[in-house]
Amino acid sequence: MSDQVAPGSAGAAGLASGGGLAPEAGPAVVIGSPRLEIRDIRKTFEGKRPVEALGGVSMTLAANEFVSLAGTSGCGKSTLLAIVAGLADPTSGDVLVDGRAIDGPGRDRGVVFQTYTLFPWLTARENVAFALRGEKMSAQDRRRVADEHLALVGLTGFADARPRQLSGGMKQRVAIARALCYKPSILLMDEPFGALDAQTRLLMQELLTRVWESHRLTVLFVTHDVEEAVYLSDRVFVMTNRPGRLKDEVRIDLPRPRTIALQEDPEFLELRRRILASIREESLRVEPGMDMAERT
Ligand SMILES: Nc1ncnc2c1ncn2[C@@H]1O[C@H](COP(=O)(O)OP(=O)(O)O)[C@@H](O)[C@H]1O
Ligand SMILES: [Mg+2]
C-alpha cells in the first residue's frame, strides 16, 4: 500500500498512517493502481422474477478522492455499495483495492449505513472499541484510540453514553468514529444522514467535510440528496434507472475548505441544477416492462 504513495506524502491516507490520527495530512499521490477500482459489476437477484439491479458499473477512485453516487430510488446504489464492502457478491465483475481483488469485507474498508447499527448495550466508547477487537492492542490503547475518534466527531464527553441516550446525529457520529478507528483507506457510506432531520443533516455534512478535509481518505458516498452530493464531493456519478449503470460524471471543482455558505454560490447552484436534471430525466424514463408502481 505505502509503496504507491509518493515519498514525503502523508501516507496512503491520512488516517491510515502510523498510530493515532494524522491531522492536516495532505493528499497522497498515487503512482501505481487506483485506490478503488470497480470493474463491470453486474448483479441480478435470482428468484421467480429475477431483478437485474446492476447492468455493468465501472469506476475508479484515486486515493483520497470523495466520490458520490446519486440516482433514483431502486437504481442499485445500495447493491453496489454492499458489493464494494464485500457484504454481497456480484453476479460478475470485480472490485479491486490497491490493485488486489477483494474477497469479502476487510479492514481496508470502513462502512456506515443509514440505519443505526450500534450495539444498544455498549457505551459509545465500547461501540467504537469493539471495531478494534481484532487488533493487537492493549485494552488501554483500544480505549485511547476509541476516545481519539470520538473526539474527532465531536463526541468528547459522551464516551460513556449508551445509544438510547444519544440523538440520531450523535449515533451516526459514533458510527463514523467506529468506521474510521481501524484506519481504513476507504470509507463507504450509504445514505448515512438519510434518517436525520434537515438541520442535523446539515451539521453532519459540515462535520464530515471538516473531518475529510483534514484527514483525507477515499470515500464512496451514496445519496439521493443532490445538494449533499455537490457539497461533499470531488466527483458525482449519476446512475440510470435499474439496471443501474453510470450515466453522467460531474466534476465538482468548488474550492475547499467548503462551508455551508457555498450552497448559495452560483457555481454550486449550476452543478446542482445539472445533476438534478440528469436524475429527473431518469425518473421520467419508463423502462419497458416496468410497473407504474416502480416509478417512484
Ligand atoms: N436481496 C434482494 N433481493 C431481490 N431484489 C433486491 C434485493 N436487494 C435489492 N433488490 C432490488 O434491486 C434493486 C436495487 O436496489 P437498491 O440497491 O437497494 O437500490 P437503491 O439503493 O438505489 O435505492 C431494487 O429494485 C430492489 O428492489
Ligand atoms: Mg439504498
Residue 146 and residue 17: Cα distance in Å, rounded? 16
Kindly list the structural domains of the chain, giving each domain's residue range(s) and its CATH number in brackets, ordered by start.
2-108+185-284 (3.40.50.300), 116-183 (no CATH)
DSSP H helical segments within the chain, as ranges?
A: 77-85, 124-130, 139-152, 168-180, 198-215, 226-232, 266-284
DSSP 64-99: T-EEEEE--TTSSHHHHHHHHHTSS--SEEEEEETT
Chain Cα centroid distance, residue 59: 15
What order of strands is seen across the sheet that includes strand 92-97? 51-61, 36-45, 92-97, 100-101
Q: Is 115 in the pocket of ligand 1 (CB under 6 A)?
A: no
In tens, the pLDDT along 64-112 reads 999 999 999 999 999 999 999 999 999 999 999 999 999 999 999 999 9
Q: Whose CA is nearest to atom 25 of ligand 1?
A: 74
Q: Which atom of ligand 1 is nearest to the CA of 72?
A: 22
Determine whether the shortest distance from the Cβ of 43 to ligand 1 is under 6 A: no
C-alpha 81/C-alpha 103 separation (Å) is 14
Q: Provide the pLDDT for residue 116.
A: 75
pTM: 0.87
> Which pLDDT band, with edges at 50, 70 and 90, does 285 fall under?
confident
